Amino acid sequence: MQDTSFAIHPGTKKQLVGENLKDIGAVTSYKVNEGMVNFKTENGYVRILFHSNRTVRVTMNPKHEPTLTTSFAVVEERLRVTPIVSDNENVVQIKTTELIVNVMKTPFRLTVTDSSGKTIIQEINKGLAFNENGEVICFKKMEDNDHFYGFGEKTGFLDKRGEKMEMWNTDVYAPHNPETDALYQSIPFFITLRDGHAHGVFFDNTGKSHFDLKSESNTYSFKAESGQMDYYVFTGPTMKDVLGQYTQLTGTMPIPPKWALGYHQSRYSYETDEEVRQLVNDFLKKEIPVDAIYLDIHYMDGYRVFTFDRDRFPDPKGLIEDLKKVGMKIVPIVDPGVKEDPEYDIYQEGVRESHFCKYVEGNIYFGDVWPGNSAFPDFTSTKARKWWGEKHKYYTDLGIEGIWNDMNEPAIFNDTKTMDVKVMHENDGDPKTHRQLHNVYGFLMGEATYEGMKKQLNGKRTFLLTRAGYAGVQRYASVWTGDNRSFWEHLQLALPMCMNLGMSGVAFCGPDVGGFAHDSSGELLVRWTQFGTFTPYFRNHSAINTVRQEPWSFGENVEKLTKKYIEQRYVWMPHLYTLFREANQTGVPVMRPLVLEYPTDENTVNLSDQFMIGDNVLVAPIMTPTTSHRVVYFPEGRWINYWTEEVLVGNKHHLVEAPLDILPIFIKEGSIIPHGTVKQSTAIPETELTYHIYLGEKNAASYRLYEDDGTTFGYENGATFEQEITCERENNLISISLKESNGSYDPTWIKETFVLHHCEDDLDIIINGEEVDHSQKNYNKLKKSLTFTIDR
């Protein structure tokens, strides 16, 4: 009855997590060993080591010396950093060329500063503690000007100061709202911004954990209900530096296959071969671009994974081949629950080869999900992950290149919503309960799926979409934000949720466009599709028994406008693809909060209703009904309205007009933006590239374009194309330089068009030392733009 007033009955006192805490106490001794400093305290043990020159790791265990075994999230090998350790009465100082860790002995309190003495993190009244229930906790000083970002998939505004958050992967179908916590992903990492300087903390605990930035005005805490205290401090000093340090530790995302970045169409469910073919024909007839069609659970035989219902889909291979001919992919859903059926080969193998989750007594755990009573692979076992990955040959043999993992929190139809926490995971010889490993179940299913598909596809990139995950999930999967609703409020929630996922290392993310549950409307679908044009992951998905929300579902005008913005996705693809390469290299997200680019601008610290694509494109969606204007904040500089060419001065708010057919987009002066062409899908090679050049008052702009074949892992071995474009103006002379890198990939386009915005018609233009003939130039007086095309 927790969804009724019974939830606030005065007689139902809730036991508080974190009661009866015991401080770790004073230092009684310490020793230095292999670059680590091991402290014995009155009530436990603490170990401090440098993972790299700018990353400190702190572990605490009240019972014995902390283990250095990391979770599945960590992939970076520890550098051998040897600090200088000195003892000054009540302080032990641990120092490198970059950082200083001061440990006060009585009681144990830790402070981390940079080499100049600037405080990064500090413990004062409270520090490390625990209780007899096995909970561990860490307190840190919170400054008045601290702002907090990341924490993975959370509702609410961008800055999480003043929030309490829980990490426990949970299937939440009930409408999401600002107090909904926890959701499907658990990423216990955050960035703190203080006076323009940033640091980060990753609390590497795979059980249930809690972050409290609310209860005290000058202290925050993070705690776990099981396991030891184990956290990393990333010392920045910029937000991008912190993201780079965190994703160096947990891995960056691979570059997705280009088709995964196109428009995707889904519904729960497209139930038959005939329905899928009609859907595809409608897209083709209406010339609306699309790259992938999704199959929800109805494609399976009795919801058994690794099967097709041959009555509904008599020839799945033929269907997939026919779609591939017109440039489209099929992405089927695969859940972890394996139907208990002694005549079902997957179930037989799982039982015989001991791949399923079990209790300590040896009996298999069963839970109720879509197929009914089901067993669940123990993905903590390397052997089980390999087995599960190999089973995906069933899909690759049919021509499938992408998979959708759902229900992998794991979600179970019971009161707890998940697996019995007493289940004992094999964990490759280090058994732990589900209570301790719950948050990595979906992550490890993702690893099994991704690695299995990658092996089966023989050099082709695969695509994986997941609902559940943990820190490091970016190595394997794109994340969608789960079962949202067709509410304007959920469109509003999607912006800060996606931005904070990006600030948690998950650059490839997005919500269900149009909303999953409830009935959408034409206006909401248009506005959500406009936003979706620039979300890293772009899929329209809706639930069973809701109104259809394909682009044409609400009449001709809505169809025209949704088509316009789906087409824009393909026009902007060269820029988006370049930004995905940046995410692959640096961990910096594609979709960015303004505070990431302008961390010293106080107007950006909690700006939750607009965002940036890269460092020079500002997007401000309309997120309320019957609205044709909105206020947009512009940081320093001058900004160009993408549609009207109007120049807007920064460091101020502007009222911007945006009728239903307009998504407000603005380009910062001094930028170059590459555009491709409208096409039915990414399977059609790009033939012409257009560079839009916005020189502005500085009379200079530059851009580094990235391209590869979009399908294979050749980019990891140098099969790339990069082109540095610089443009400068001196009086009436425009000089453009194009410098190609020495990568081995030869791009498909044969023409390059240049559009100079806000210029006169009497300019002389030189490209790589050669003058552009006047006859090649086309001047638009209305837009004051000069266009010319050259052969590549």
Q: Three-state DSSP class for 512?
A: strand
At residue 249, φ and ψ (nearest 5 deg) are -70, -45
Interstrand relation of 338-339 and 617-619 (parallel, antiparallel or unpaired): unpaired
Catalytic: which of 426, 483, 567, 708? Answer: 483
What DSSP element (H or E) covers 58? strand 55-61
User: What single letter denotes the amino acid at residue 133?
Assistant: N
Give the tokens for residue 588: 């910096």
DSSP codes, 266-279:
--TT--SHHHHHHH
Is 609 among the catalytic positions?
A: no
80 Ramachandran zone, left/alpha/beta (phi>0; psi -120 to 50) = beta
- Find tokens 């599960």 and name the residue: 388
Closest C-alpha to 513, from 553, 484, 474:
484
- Catalytic annotation, pick one of 225, 273, 409, 709: 409
The residue written with tokens 């095309």 in the block is 789
As given in the structure block, the two tokens for residue 498 are 């996606």
Yes or no: say if 163 and 213 are a contact pair by the CB < 8 Å rule: yes
345 catalytic per annotation: no
Contact criterion met (CB below 8 Å) for 370 and 305:
no
What does the block give as tokens for 748? Answer: 């498909």
Q: Which residues pair with 30 in a beta bridge?
A: 39
Signed CA dihedral, 81, 86, 92, 95: sign only: negative
SS (H, E, C) 377-443: ECCCCHHHHHHHHHHCHHHHCCCCCEEEECCCCCCCCCCCCCCCCCCEECHHHCCEEHHHHHHHHHH
Largest separation between any pair of C-alpha atoms in the chain: 85
Q: How far apart are CA 126 and CA 124, in angstroms?
A: 6
Q: Return the structure tokens found at 653.
A: 């708010």
Residue ranges in 326-381 assigned as alpha helix (H):
345-352
Amino acid at 31: K
Q: What's the angle, vertex CA 479, arms to CA 478 and CA 485, rounded to 5?
A: 140
Bond prior to 336 in cis (omega within 30° of 0)? no
Between CA 475 and CA 466 the distance in angstroms is: 12
- For 138-158, the DSSP string reads EEEE--TTEEEEE-SS--S-S
Instruction: Using alpha carbons, list the distances in angstroms from residue 597 to 477, 602, 641, 703.
Output: 26, 12, 19, 17
Question: What is the distance of C-alpha 268 from the center of its chain?
Answer: 23
Q: Could you tell me how far CA 295 lies from the centroid of its own chain?
A: 23
Angle CA 352–367–398, to nearest 5? 60
**Chain-centre distance for alpha carbon 634:** 25
Measure the CA–CA gap between 473 and 455, rounded to whole angstroms.
Answer: 19
Burial class from Cβ neighbours inside 10 Å (0-12, 13-18, 19+) for residue 648 reads middle
Task: List Cβ neighbours of 339 (8 Å cut-off, separation of 6 or more).
Answer: 302, 303, 304, 347, 371, 372, 373, 374
Q: Catalytic: which of 212, 406, 707, 708?
A: 406
Does 237 sit behind a cis peptide bond, omega within 30 degrees of 0 on the bond before it?
Answer: yes
Q: Is 409 a catalytic residue?
A: yes
DSSP secondary structure string for all residues of 163-198:
-EEEE------SPP-TT----SEE--EEEEEETTEE
Residue 119's beta-bridge partner residues?
Answer: 113
Reported in sequence order, the residue ranges of 492-569 that DSSP labels E, i.e. its strands, are 509-510, 512-513, 539-540
Task: Give the residue numbers annotated as catalytic, written as ranges.
Answer: 406, 409, 483
